[in-house]
Amino acid sequence: MREIDTDLRCISSFYLIPLFLISVGMAGCGPGKQAAAPPAFGPPEVSFMTVKTEKVVLTSELPGRTTAYLVAEVRPQVGGIIQKRLFEEGANVKAGDLLYQIDPAQFQAAYERARAELTRAEAKIISIRFKYERSKALIQSKVISQQDFDNAESDLHMAEADIQASKAAEETAEINLDYTKVTAPISGRIGKSHVTVGALVTANHLIPLATIQQMNPIYVDATQSSADFLRLKRNITEGLITNDEKGTKVKLLFEDGSPYPLEGEMQFRDVTVDQSTGSFILRIVFPNPDNALLPGMYVRTMVEEGVVDDAVLVPHQSVSRNMRGDPFAMIVDASDKVEMRMLSIDRSIGEKWLVKDGLKNGDRVIMEGLQKIRPGAPVKAVDFGAVQSTAPAAVATPAVAEKTGK
């Protein structure tokens, strides 16, 4: 019986403890005391940037190669033995400078012979002209026949023709004699000589004796895709870009990325698209007074495409993309609610996107807090510039001295 009483007391205690706790809780919720309300949460805070239109100069970076402004291959126009080379390889030469001397002996002899033939023809015509004048007087008095007069007149014309032929032969011989002096056709820098003194050359030699290149100014042939050209034309037609192609200024970067100090000017766009690459050539001329640019160098050009007077630029971090890859931005409307705007983007300029459509001057584009919002939800908007300016600076943590236990 004692054991049964003990068990009953334990069971009673087991059920009485929860009832006691419930009664204490209900006592705390009496008329004079109310339960604590859950904490209230306001709209999420986001930072925004106000869109301001600005004037932007659009440029395209295009690869290119330098090309000499003028190139002339020095070739002989008569054959002979090279007697002298009168220039230093790699030096600057002027148009008309003597470069090579070909042995002139045979050409001098040909010239003297042509002069002698001309003198003979001029002497021969004297008697023929007197004969013609006499025949002209006699034919009027019927002393000589008409045939004799015609023969005298024919002899005169043949003698005059011989003089003209002799003059032409003399001029040809003189020209060939002058051609033994091979001169520079243009001013510029001459390369290495492909022949030496004593070499035999012929007229219109297959290999040029040397090559002269004028490098100040110098051309840069840049490559632009036809797709980029069509996009530029479309933007100009739509009024997004104002462009004056004549006199367009171009900047240049060397292969290592360092800038060239002088600006160039675009000359023309090629009228034919390369079928294999789908691109065409832009020819640009650059001043090159110090010969810093050499023909054949790889360079990059920064070509001004045009000017956008009211450009809308937004940072990359403010633009997202949907499942289809279409760009959009979240903005804060006049009632401080989130609105989604689909965008049309032209290109990236530095760390910003150039927006063609979807945003306008004065729109508040959300920069931070995008993960906490949805379209139509109210937000607490804070200016992004103010947040950045009031951000606390990093505080240095003092070093803690190690305890030695001494």
CATH number of the domain where residue 382 is located: 2.40.420.20
Domain match, 261 and 337 both: no
pLDDT band at 392 (very low <50, low <70, confident <90, very high): low
pLDDT band at 192 (very low <50, low <70, confident <90, very high): very high
| 5 lies in some domain | no
Domain match, 291 and 318 both: no
Domain match, 328 and 370 both: yes
State residue 111's pLDDT score. Answer: 95
Share above pLDDT 90 across residues of the chain, in percent, rounded to a whole number: 49
Domain match, 62 and 157 both: no
State residue 106's pLDDT score. Answer: 94
| 331 lies in some domain | yes
State residue 4's pLDDT score. Answer: 38
State residue 57's pLDDT score. Answer: 83
Question: Which domain range does residue 281 map to?
Answer: 57-68+214-309
- pLDDT, tens digit (0-9, with 9 covering 90-100), for 56-72: 888 888 899 999 999 99
| 201 lies in some domain | yes
pLDDT band at 391 (very low <50, low <70, confident <90, very high): low
pLDDT at 386 over 50: yes
Domain match, 202 and 284 both: no
| 219 lies in some domain | yes
Closest CA to 364 of 341, 388, 391: 341
Between 7 and 265, whose confidence is greater?
Answer: 265
Does the predicted TM-score (pTM) go above 0.75? no
Domain match, 80 and 192 both: yes
State residue 205's pLDDT score. Answer: 80
State residue 372's pLDDT score. Answer: 86
Closest CA to 236 of 305, 142, 139: 305
Distances (CA, A) of 333 to 340, 353, 362: 10, 21, 10
* Size (the chain), residues: 406
- pLDDT, tens digit (0-9, with 9 covering 90-100), for 329-367: 999 998 999 999 999 998 888 899 999 899 998 999 999
- pLDDT, tens digit (0-9, with 9 covering 90-100), for 236-282: 676 666 665 556 788 999 989 899 999 988 887 777 887 888 888 88
State residue 32's pLDDT score. Answer: 44
Domain match, 81 and 203 both: yes
Between 6 and 340, whose confidence is greater?
Answer: 340
What is the CB neighbour count within 10 angstroms for residue 217?
19
Q: Are 81 and 198 in contact (CB under 8 A)?
A: yes
pLDDT at 13 over 60: no
pLDDT at 401 over 60: no
Which range, of 137-146, 224-233, 343-352, 384-393, averages the lowest pLDDT?
Answer: 384-393
HEC string for the chain: CHHHHHHHHHHHHHHHHHHHHHHHHHHHCCCCCCCCCCCCCCCCEEEEEECCCEEEEEEEEEEEEEEEEEEEEECCCCCEEEEEECCCCCCEECCCCEEEEECCHHHHHHHHHHHHHHHHHHHHHHHHHHHHHHHHHHHHCCCCCHHHHHHHHHHHHHHHHHHHHHHHHHHHHHHHHHHCEEECCCCEEECCCCCCCCCEECCCCCCCCEEEEEEEEEEEEEEEEHHHHHHHHHHHHCCCCECCCCCCEEEEECCCCCECCCCEEEEEECCCCECCCCEEEEEEEECCCCCCCCCCCEEEEEEEEEEEEEEEEEEHHHEEECCCCCEEEEEECCCCEEEEEECEEEEEECCEEEEEECCCCCCEEEEECHHHCCCCCECEEEEHHHHHHCCCCCCCCCCCCCCCCC
For range 74-96, the mean pLDDT: 94
pLDDT band at 387 (very low <50, low <70, confident <90, very high): low
pLDDT at 3 over 70: no
pLDDT at 173 over 90: yes
- Bridge partners of residue 49, in order along the sequence: 365
Domain match, 135 and 157 both: yes
pLDDT at 30 over 50: no
State residue 204's pLDDT score. Answer: 78
State residue 385's pLDDT score. Answer: 73
State residue 64's pLDDT score. Answer: 92
State residue 179's pLDDT score. Answer: 94
pLDDT at 223 over 50: yes
How many domains does the chain divide into?
4
Closest CA to 267 of 222, 324, 298: 222
Domain match, 221 and 193 both: no
The C-alpha atoms of residue 169 and residue 144 are separated, in whole angstroms, by 37
State residue 136's pLDDT score. Answer: 83
pLDDT mean across residues, the chain: 82
| 10 lies in some domain | no
Share above pLDDT 70 across residues of the chain, in percent, rounded to a whole number: 82
Domain match, 95 and 184 both: yes
Domain match, 269 and 155 both: no
State residue 21's pLDDT score. Answer: 39
- pLDDT, tens digit (0-9, with 9 covering 90-100), for 132-146: 888 888 888 778 888
pLDDT at 28 over 60: no
State residue 27's pLDDT score. Answer: 42
